[in-house]
Amino acid sequence: MTTRVLTRFAVSRSWRGALAVAASNVLVTVTAVLGYTAAYPDPADRVTLAESIGSNPGLVALFGEPVALETQAGFTEWRVSLVLALVAAVWALFAATRLMRGEEESGRADVVLAGPVTRTSAAAATVRGLALSLALLVVVTVVGFVAGTAADLGAARAAGLGLAVCSLAAVMAGVGALTSQLADTRRRALAIGAAVLGAFYVVRVVADSRPSLNGLRWATPLGWLELSRPLTEPDPWPVLLGYVLAVVLAVVALGLVSRRDVGAGLLVSQDSARARVAVLRGPAGLAVRLARGSALGWALGLGSFGLLIGLVARTAAEAMADAADQDALSGFGITETGTTAYVGVSFVLVTLALAVAAAGQVSAARDEEESGRLDTLLAAPVSRWSWLGGRVVVATGVLAAAAAAAVGGAWLAGRVSDLGVSAVDLATAGVNALPAALFVLGLGMLLLGVVPRLAGPLTYSVVAGSFLLEIVGSAVELPEWLLSLSVLHHVQPAPAVDPDWTAAAVLVGLGVALALAGGAALRVRDLQTG
């Protein structure tokens, strides 16, 4: 096998995801541009909106410091830059670790390296394929932005926005390539990469928390994105810095390839540690062991987000007490401003995060089958039903723990900042966030039983599609039947609005039914590894 074939293989494994992310970038941005004009035709309303958002520390902490929000360019830049950059970054991290570490973990890299191909040249060919898919992401995003928004934003600035949004994806592709050399499994490589992305975000939040800390923006690629201001005050150097960092990370990763054994990582694993087999009494116990890392990560992440909600809610609520914000909140069915309203809107994001976590649990189940570990497990007196059931129970526990962490973080911060929302209301918001994630989990298990190779990507696509429908629906008036296809559309922003327990019960019931159907399909099909 030649390096050219390896490059083509890498492209074939990643170009569809790149194209899907690029298409969503264009859809969301064009919708935001058109929606701003339709929602705020009066210049006075635009000034009011700019003043309310600019003085809202909660929104600044979440989405960055706005500039020229009274203009179409400023609002579009503030609304889409961070969200689209994060979505593209997550795709890039998954793609890089799949191609760099996943191929070794599956054993396919051993077959490739048995031929006249060195480890470094094979890795370089894979990086080239990933770079080509990244180039596809950049080109389609830039061309789409220019074609769809040049009349409103200007062609040069629209192209600059596309380059800026994709710069974080390039950085995270480099991070994924590097962590694939450090960790001995794809799961660990993803975990390290996710921690790096989380650190980028936290540093950016700190940098935007007060003027004296604004210099910290230079310490994170998300800060570079904010400094570039592609639509309002264009500065190409921070964007260029992101692409340069991506190249540096890729070069470092390639330099580390020859310093480790195939299938091993530079970070020493704890294989010599004392065996801990207390929970390994069946498939559910094994699922607990495998899921503990992701459970801890999601609990820490959402717990930190809950702390942020509780700390800024009162100040943010005070800044939201004007007509423009009341109009914005009415789209969520919220009729009054206040800390309860802010907490309710924030927990919508918790719902989205839990849905992403559910999709991750589906991917983890597929990885267990793809790696061949499930073959070994089923050779023992273990049925497919019990394996899948254990996976579902443990995944539900992971989701519940993450929701509880968000509630606990908000309650703890509220004790310090006088949040004004009771522990019961916060717990209600946490419970209300779970049904959508449980539906996604059940749907993913059905896909695992029917189309196992596509289970992970399709489940993530459902979550991403739901999020995009909500974003687009908030900017333009979409038909109700179309909005109802979004699983997030059926979740009320509790505690600002009473939860719709009927809809929640339907989501949970459908999730259970879909998981059972997935188990039935898994029982009669062949296992598919590799």
489 within a domain of the structure (yes/no): yes
Q: How many CA atoms lie within 13 A of 18 on its CB side?
A: 26
269 within a domain of the structure (yes/no): no
Among 151-160, 214-223, 325-334, 377-386, the minimum mean pLDDT is found in 325-334
Among 49-63, 250-264, 352-366, 430-444, the minimum mean pLDDT is found in 49-63
Residue 101 carries which DSSP code? I
pLDDT of residue 255: 93
pLDDT of residue 191: 82
pLDDT of residue 439: 96
Q: Are residues 283 and 256 in the same domain?
A: no
344 within a domain of the structure (yes/no): yes
pLDDT of residue 180: 92
| Residue showing tokens 């969301």 | 28
- Mean pLDDT value across residues 44-54: 74
Last residue of a domain, one of 215, 232, 262: 262
Among 54-68, 117-131, 324-338, 363-377, the minimum mean pLDDT is found in 324-338
434 within a domain of the structure (yes/no): yes
Last residue of a domain, one of 236, 262, 288: 262
- Mean pLDDT value across residues 412-426: 83
3-state secondary structure 237-288: HHHHHHHHHHHHHHHHHHHHHCCCCCCCCCCCCCCCCCCCCCCCCCHHHHHH
Q: What is the pLDDT of residues 277-328, one digit of tens each?
A: 555 566 666 667 777 777 787 888 888 888 878 877 776 666 555 544 454 5
Q: Are residues 286 and 224 in the same domain?
A: no
pTM of the complete model beyond 0.95: no
Give the chain's mean pLDDT: 84
Q: Which of 92 and 190 is assigned the larger pLDDT?
A: 92
pLDDT of residue 56: 62
Q: The domain containing residue 506 runs over which residues?
A: 279-530
271 within a domain of the structure (yes/no): no
pLDDT of residue 318: 62
| Residue showing tokens 């992101």 | 242
Q: Are residues 69 and 169 in the same domain?
A: yes
518 within a domain of the structure (yes/no): yes
Q: Which residues contact 423 (CB under 8 A, 6 or more apart)?
A: 411
Q: Are residues 206 and 310 in the same domain?
A: no
Among 52-61, 153-162, 378-387, 448-457, the minimum mean pLDDT is found in 52-61
Q: Are residues 188 and 289 in the same domain?
A: no
Tell me which residue of 348, 347, 322, 350 sits closest to 336, measured CA to CA. 322
Q: Are residues 231 and 288 in the same domain?
A: no
Q: What is the pLDDT of residues 114-172, one digit of tens each?
A: 677 788 898 999 999 999 999 999 999 999 999 999 988 999 999 999 999 999 999 99
DSSP string, 434-448: HHHHHHHHHHHHHHH
Q: Are residues 174 and 111 in the same domain?
A: yes
pLDDT of residue 372: 77
pLDDT of residue 521: 93
Q: Are residues 240 and 288 in the same domain?
A: no
What CA–CA distance (Å, rounded) separates 415 from 404? 16
374 within a domain of the structure (yes/no): yes
pLDDT of residue 66: 82
pLDDT of residue 296: 80
Judged against a pLDDT cut of 80, whether residue 528 lies above it is answered with no
pLDDT of residue 103: 82
Mean pLDDT highest for which of 54-63, 138-147, 328-337, 475-484?
138-147
pLDDT of residue 188: 83
Q: Are residues 512 and 369 in the same domain?
A: yes
Q: Which of 260 and 88 is assigned the larger pLDDT?
A: 88
512 within a domain of the structure (yes/no): yes
Q: Which residues contact 137 (CB under 8 A, 6 or more apart)?
A: 18, 19, 21, 22, 88, 166, 169
Judged against a pLDDT cut of 60, whether residue 59 lies above it is answered with yes
Q: Are residues 186 and 322 in the same domain?
A: no
- Say how many domains are in the chain: 2
Q: Are residues 231 and 341 in the same domain?
A: no
Q: Are residues 357 and 238 in the same domain?
A: no
Last residue of a domain, one of 262, 288, 319: 262
pLDDT of residue 447: 93
pLDDT of residue 324: 46
Query: Buried b / exposed e across 3-36, counting CB within 10 Å, b at 16+?
Result: beebbebbbebbbebbebbbebbbebbbbbbbbb
Judged against a pLDDT cut of 80, whether residue 98 lies above it is answered with yes
